[in-house]
Structure formats: C-alpha cells, structure tokens
Amino acid sequence: MEITKRFFSWTAIGMGSLALIGSVGCRATVAGDPDRPIKIEAHVTIDVRQIKEEAHSIEDLVNSPAPKKSSRVGGWLVGTAWAEFSPEVMDAVNSRRDRVGQLKSAKAQGLIGEDNQGHVAALGGGPEIQALVEAENRDRETIYQAQVQEKGLPADAIGTVRAAFAQEQWNRAEPGEKIQTPSGEWQTK
C-alpha cells in the first residue's frame, strides 16, 4: 500500500513537472545586454548510416553501365537511381564513370591508391596519372560537397562524408591495390 501511494505521488509530481516545463519551456526569453550578440549553441546529429548508404549507391552507379533514365515494367513507368541525385552529382558520377577503366588500370599497376579521405592519390607515374587523379578528386569532392549541402549539414560534416566514402572505397578495393589506413599508413589490400 505504501509503495503504491509513493508511486502515485511521484507520478503526480512528475506529470505536474512535465506540464510546467512544457508550458514554460516553449517560451523564449532574452536576458542580458541587448547590445551584445547572443550566443546560441546547436547540436547536429548526422545520420552516418544514410551517408554510407548513399556512398554505396553512388559508387554502384560509377562502377556500372549507365542506367536508363526510366523503364516500363508491367505497364508502369519505373524510375532508376538517376532520380535520386541532383544533376550536379549525376554529372560528376558520369564523369567518373567515363574514367573508371583508366583508374582501375592505374590502381592495378600501383600508380594510384585510395587515401583515407575518400580521394585518390598518385603513388607513381607521370603527368597523365596526376591529371587522372586531379579529375577524379574534383568529381569526388563535388559529390561530397553536394551531400553536405543537400542534407543541410554543417560545413564541418564534410569530414564525416569523406570518411564514409573512403570506407566504401576501401571495401571495394581489389586485392593488390593500395589503400591508406585511417592512421595514414599505406598498405596493399
């Protein structure tokens, strides 16, 4: 009996407190000097799982033949992954798709490796390898920046996006290719 009374007593106090917080908590008040700027701290949660899924989808598009923009299945018009990404991202994907053969060949020769920031790095070769690396990294960075902007993430979230794509590249690397570990060391997969 005593436990039940305490439970109901604490429940009533808790519910009353929530009602008070709810009614007062929705009101914004400003205290202090009105001529001084107000500092507001906000915490942003980044859904890394969603970024990893998009990294996977984008890399699937890069490494596959160009999909049709739509197809008919049972009389229904069905869209493909093209509709999921902005035109800017799809331009970068198409550009990357055009050079994927060259990139794979250079990786197989050990001239290019996947770094830990989601970019490729020249590990040998001449100006043609450097040009290939620069073009690939420019398109990858376009995709990464678009991810941040399209999701409304803070600018410093770019590191999280790059890390997700770096992990995807590491997972897709073929045996014998060079990859950079998160600690910065180069190794052969």
Domain ranges of the chain: 52-184
Higher pLDDT, 12 or 139: 139
- Per cent of the chain over pLDDT 70 is 68
Instruction: Identify the CA nearest to 57 among candidates 138, 147, 142, 132.
Output: 147
The per-residue pLDDT for range 38-83, each reduced to its tens digit, is 666 555 556 789 899 999 999 999 998 865 554 444 444 444 444 5
pLDDT value at residue 36: 75
Instruction: Check residue 184 and give left, alpha or beta (phi > 0: left; psi -120 to 50: alpha).
Output: left
d(CA 40, CA 128): 49
The per-residue pLDDT for range 72-111, each reduced to its tens digit, is 444 444 444 445 789 999 999 999 999 999 999 999 999 9
The mean of the pLDDT values for the chain is 80
Instruction: Identify the CA nearest to 147 among candidates 159, 138, 136, 137.
Output: 159
d(CA 108, CA 86): 31
Computed on alpha carbons and rounded to an integer, the radius of gyration of the chain in Å comes to 25
Going by the DSSP 8-state scheme, the letter that residue 173 receives in this structure is: P
Using an 8 Å Cβ cutoff, are 86 and 107 in contact? no
Using an 8 Å Cβ cutoff, are 170 and 114 in contact? yes
pLDDT value at residue 83: 53
The reply to whether the predicted model has a pTM over 0.85 is: no
pLDDT value at residue 175: 96
Residue 11 pLDDT class (50, 70, 90 cuts): very low
